[in-house]
Structure 1
Amino acid sequence: MAPLLEAQGIVRRFGALVANDHVDLAVARSEIHALLGENGAGKSTLVKILYGLLQPSEGTIAWQGRPVTIASPAEARRLGIGMVFQHFSLFEALTVAENVAMSLPADTPMATIEAEVARLSRAYGLPLEPKREVWRLSVGERQRIEIVRALLQDPKLLILDEPTSVLTPQEADQLFVTLEALKAEGRSILYISHKLDEVRRICDRATVLRLGKVVAAANPRQETAASLARLMVGSEVKELRTAAHAPGTDRLVVQGLSLPAADTHGTALQDIALTVRGGEIVGIAGIAGNGQDELFAALSGERASPHQSIRLDGRSVGALGVTARRRLGAAFVPEERLGHAAAPGFTLTENALLSGHATSGFIRRGLIDRGALADWVARVVAAFDVRMSGPNPPARALSGGNLQKFVVGREILREPKLLVVAQPTWGVDAAAAATIRQALVDLAGRGAAVLVASQDLDELFALSDRLAVISEGRLSEPRPTATLDRETVGLMMGGIHGVAA
């Protein structure tokens, strides 16, 4: 029987850049097929071609044995191809249900769509309010919309890009059960993930891309996570190096921080207490939408806080804004890299100026020192191996992992006393994640206080000296990470408190 989808000799050029170089890919019926590779390896370009967002420069595509031209996403959906993107394609001013409606027949009643969204979100453990506007939602909640929207298409082939990055272990387990059920129904899944252990768990076959070319085909169940990472990178991925050290003085102290929700759909912070000492990394786990965004806004100065509720090196900073806190030695990396951490249409030097104008010596006598700015960006690019298609590109031109390395790198190289970072390695490959995580550990080793909010429990267990869970705006007491396990933390993330470690 012919494969469900077969791409042969796919080439895609962007000027002189060859993003896909004669790529062959065959997805069989009733299989879960992994597409692996570093950020910038060509995965996103390939799946955009399969979904009709891009056209190949060369090559052919066959669907169920018949040659096809996939001219648009609508054509892909008509064939039976659904997709969930890593970077979301949502209209922020519309509601959840209205966004879903954009991919359904125009005459579908809105009440029917709202009911189906509610049903599917409950069925798959991805809570959504159909009438809630997208601009009010966290990154994790936005990904839930994409997953539910794709499932509403009843696809024969579902392309998933980093689908578990916002799920608890229990929710990820439920998703895997769902994927196995879809497979048993005769559907196929093209699965993109940098979590190699989950690839080994659920995928039948894997195609590995490197620098736009297919470099390997593998049975993930016969590989280790390390061997898959080696295929992706072409060399060994460095293991995280840590060293035992005694924590220093209290750098960040949060006491009795309570803030009402910023809007009717937000999460109120309730009596948050937290201390981060110099030389340690404190992790915060939690499902998206449980107060992480509100806590980040309070810590970064995007939202003012009650007097004395937040102190940095003994000084009350609750009334200070972002720039004033940066001048005191704080640095911040928000979870949404494109739009919050970086302006998409601005170049890297312009983005560096936005965050560093008050602290990095880029402004002299009211004028921008463009030489110093360019040198600074070059330092970040070299130190964090930021790969670019040309000199000083706009932020939107970088792959997700390379933009994340740039955003994290520009903050760490400032040598802050305090770094607050949300989702430091969300959607980045194994090599990029290793670079970022090692930089966080090294920064703490030099005496900085590091606070990491993440939904990746493997990351938190690898990085954190102490770990807390945020749920419904309440933060548990940070406990030594060595005294906790994944199941306990997962249950706490899901709102079950008081469980025994």
Structure 2
Amino acid sequence: MSSSTPLARLQLRGITKRYPGCVANDQIDLNIQAGEIHALLGENGAGKSTLMKIIYGVTQPDEGEIRWHGETLKMRDPSMARTLGIGMVFQHFSLFETLTVAENIALAMGRQAGTAQQLEPKIREVSKRYGMPLEPERLVHSLSIGERQRVEIVRCLMQDIKLLILDEPTSVLTPQEADELFTTLRRLASEGCSILFISHKLGEVRALCQSATVLRGGKVSGHCIPADCTDLELARLMVGDAQGLETRHAKVSGANLFLQVDQLSWYNPDPFGTSLKDIQLNVRSGEIVGIAGVAGNGQDEILALLSGEQPLPKREALRISFAGQPVAHLKPDARRQLGLAFVPAERLGHGAVPDMSLSDNALLTAFQQGLVSKGLVKRSKVVAFAEEIIRRFAVKTPNAETAAQSLSGGNLQKFILGREIMQNPKLLIAAHPTWGVDVGAATAIHRALIALRDAGAAILVISEDLDELFQICDRIGALSSGKLSTLANTLETNPVEVGRWMAGQFNTDAVLS
């Protein structure tokens, strides 16, 4: 090596990892310099998560070597990685739900960092400084998805790290919060911290990262300087065929009113939750309505009330109606019989049971589709239904008996969405439908939603991705502190205005229907 060539902080040479039926990583080479922000790009299932787990010591490679500051080592476990100064934020959270924020962070940092109580002031200070305020004494199970993501990020930022690995860190942040995070990451890089950044938001990659390695099918398919590429050029490197990635979906006006929410107020007894105030919402058959909002502003509560997970007393049944029929007092299965399908925000644990097979997960919500007769499961029909989901929605999996937790995030999301769409719902409610999925999977999901809309379904999408909402929605509004803004035609507003609504700057006196 030339004396003028800087020594890479992290080098991977020939990293290979095999699983039954597939090679997740195939001879991967990767260099990351001190102070470099390096992107790792690829479709869901391309091998990114496996590679990150190898770097962090969660998984051991079958072949290849890891060099840290030029020295070859075996990354035995995450504890060793953290000792070296490597921190990682996983796409799927690794938090104990029955412990507080401070207790989770204390566990990750070890005894030398102090007790949870001793860490609380620093957690408040660090989280506030980075624009991700946290209450250290809150139990994790009471946090929204966005707030849990903040815990993961802050937990790493509190450590003296030399390499920070971020897997989809902005998926639950507003554009403003993402900008604040990028300011922090650039400052960390200027101080010498290396950052390995995984994101499917190509605009973010182009704005933030100095270099990128692209994986396809478990192999390195190319390297590039993101700032010198367009989004479409990056997408082509990731998926090969970029056909349909620039689709512009036509905006439409809905037909008959299907979902009607009338002056819905709900007091949340959880002191850390959000109460809803006078929610007025209409969704018509044949349209997609989008609701934007920063995590923790009432999304979880309105989803629970609409899905039936949180029914209201019968005297308030009229607060929510399907095609004029009061449903606010009904449980989820009764609402499903009236045409509801539901895609929750949390894929693993809520949308799917992690250790159950895909076929069993298909049965969980689709049992009314002729899959059960006289209390007996028709196993062959269940498997056939799951296989049809896999085929129609291009889910990458060995077969229908594969455990849900073994799928990549994007493929599991396609399976859950496909399971709901194939029940031909009259109303589909989808939370964060493309959270953490690659550009190809997001395009496929958007096409499926548009096709369902064009078939006459009413669709409500709750998301924190403004780009997504403006791309697929016909009307849009925003939640802030439990209040819903006026709904506007998407073509008659813009992200800046919706961003103001997300901050609570709106008037709810009139609602467009």
What is the TM-score with the length of structure 1 in the denominator?
Answer: 0.97
**How far apart, CA to CA, are the structure 2 residues paired with 1:355 and 1:390?**
19
* Cα offset, 1:468, TM superposition: 0.7
* Counterpart for residue 322 of structure 1: 332
Structure 2's unaligned 5+ residue stretches are: 1-5, 509-513
Aligned residues: 498
* Counterpart for residue 49 of structure 1: 54
* Cα offset, 1:464, TM superposition: 0.9
Give the 3-state SS of the residue equivalent to 2:181 in structure 1.
helix
* Cα offset, 1:137, TM superposition: 1.1
* Cα offset, 1:72, TM superposition: 0.9
Q: In 2, are the aligned partners of 1:471 and 1:495 still within 8 Å (CA)? A: yes
* Cα offset, 1:404, TM superposition: 0.2
Q: Does 1:353 align with 2:363?
A: yes
Alignment of 1:111-130 (within 5 A): 111-130=117-136
Alignment of 1:309-388 (within 5 A): 309-357=319-367, 359-388=368-397
Give the 3-state SS of the residue equivalent to 1:276 in structure 2.
strand
Q: In 2, are the aligned partners of 1:241 and 1:438 still within 8 Å (CA)? A: no
* Cα offset, 1:262, TM superposition: 4.3
Q: Does 1:219 align with 2:225?
A: yes
CA distance change for structure 1 residues 244 and 466 in 2, over 3 Å: closer, same or farther?
closer
**How far apart, CA to CA, are the structure 1 residues paired with 2:15 and 2:248?**
40
Which of 87, 94, 99 lines up with 1:94 in the alignment? Answer: 99
Q: In 1, are the aligned partners of 2:358 and 2:400 still within 8 Å (CA)? A: no
Give the 3-state SS of the residue equivalent to 1:102 in structure 2.
helix
**How far apart, CA to CA, are the structure 2 residues paired with 1:113 and 1:492?**
35
Percent identity, please.
Answer: 52
Q: Which amino acid aligns with 1:196?
A: L
* Counterpart for residue 18 of structure 1: 23
**How far apart, CA to CA, are the structure 1 residues paired with 2:502 and 2:83?**
38
* Counterpart for residue 177 of structure 1: 183
* Counterpart for residue 487 of structure 2: 478
Q: In 2, are the aligned partners of 1:250 and 1:278 still within 8 Å (CA)? A: yes
Q: Which amino acid aligns with 1:410?
A: R
Q: In 2, are the aligned partners of 1:237 and 1:430 still within 8 Å (CA)? A: no
* Counterpart for residue 256 of structure 2: 249
* Cα offset, 1:60, TM superposition: 0.5
Q: Does 1:204 align with 2:210?
A: yes
Q: Which amino acid aligns with 2:34?
A: R
Q: In 2, are the aligned partners of 1:86 and 1:427 still within 8 Å (CA)? A: yes
Q: In 2, are the aligned partners of 1:204 and 1:219 still within 8 Å (CA)? A: yes
* Counterpart for residue 511 of structure 2: none
Q: Which amino acid aligns with 1:89?
A: S
Give the 3-state SS of the residue equivalent to 1:235 in structure 2.
coil
CA distance change for structure 1 residues 96 and 240 in 2, over 3 Å: closer, same or farther?
same
**How far apart, CA to CA, are the structure 2 residues paired with 1:249 and 1:16?**
49
Deviation by residue 1:403-423 (Cα, 9 ceiling, x = unmatched): 000000111111111000000
**How far apart, CA to CA, are the structure 1 residues paired with 2:42 and 2:144?**
27
Range moving further from structure 2, 33-42 or 383-392:
383-392
Deviation by residue 1:120-147 (Cα, 9 ceiling, x = unmatched): 1111111211000011111111110000
Q: In 2, are the aligned partners of 1:240 and 1:437 still within 8 Å (CA)? A: no
Deviation by residue 1:415-446 (Cα, 9 ceiling, x = unmatched): 11100000000000000000001111111111
* Cα offset, 1:390, TM superposition: 4.0
**How far apart, CA to CA, are the structure 1 residues paired with 2:374 and 2:51?**
48
- Structure 1 residue ranges (4+ consecutive) displaced by more than 4 angstroms after TM superposition: none
Q: In 2, are the aligned partners of 1:267 and 1:473 still within 8 Å (CA)? A: yes
* Counterpart for residue 404 of structure 2: 395
* Cα offset, 1:241, TM superposition: 5.1
**How far apart, CA to CA, are the structure 2 residues paired with 1:77 and 1:163?**
19
* Counterpart for residue 428 of structure 1: 437
**How far apart, CA to CA, are the structure 2 residues paired with 1:466 and 1:340?**
27
* Cα offset, 1:487, TM superposition: 2.1
* Counterpart for residue 81 of structure 1: 86
* Cα offset, 1:275, TM superposition: 0.2
Q: Which amino acid aligns with 2:257?
A: D
Q: Does 1:437 align with 2:446?
A: yes
Range moving further from structure 2, 233-242 or 322-331:
233-242
Give the 3-state SS of the residue equivalent to 2:389 in structure 1.
helix
Q: In 2, are the aligned partners of 1:39 and 1:401 still within 8 Å (CA)? A: yes
* Cα offset, 1:237, TM superposition: 4.3
**How far apart, CA to CA, are the structure 2 residues paired with 1:317 and 1:447?**
21
Give the 3-state SS of the residue equivalent to 1:103 in structure 2.
helix
Give the 3-state SS of the residue equivalent to 1:59 in structure 2.
strand
* Cα offset, 1:280, TM superposition: 0.7
* Counterpart for residue 280 of structure 1: 287
**How far apart, CA to CA, are the structure 2 residues paired with 1:366 and 1:16?**
35
* Counterpart for residue 44 of structure 2: 39
Give the 3-state SS of the residue equivalent to 1:263 in structure 2.
coil
**How far apart, CA to CA, are the structure 2 residues paired with 1:221 and 1:483?**
31
Deviation by residue 1:340-367 (Cα, 9 ceiling, x = unmatched): 010111111111111111x211111221
Give the 3-state SS of the residue equivalent to 1:308 in structure 2.
helix
**How far apart, CA to CA, are the structure 2 residues paired with 1:237 and 1:263?**
47
Q: In 2, are the aligned partners of 1:226 and 1:237 still within 8 Å (CA)? A: no
Q: In 1, are the aligned partners of 2:386 and 2:400 still within 8 Å (CA)? A: no
**How far apart, CA to CA, are the structure 2 residues paired with 1:133 and 1:244?**
42
Which of 25, 32, 35 lines up with 1:30 in the alignment? Answer: 35
Q: Which amino acid aligns with 2:271?
A: T
Q: Which amino acid aligns with 2:432?
A: Q
RMSD: 1.3
Q: Which amino acid aligns with 2:212?
A: A
Q: In 2, are the aligned partners of 1:466 and 1:479 still within 8 Å (CA)? A: yes
Q: Which amino acid aligns with 2:407?
A: L
Q: Which amino acid aligns with 2:436?
A: G
**How far apart, CA to CA, are the structure 2 residues paired with 1:69 and 1:221?**
34
* Cα offset, 1:16, TM superposition: 3.8
Q: In 2, are the aligned partners of 1:229 and 1:237 still within 8 Å (CA)? A: no
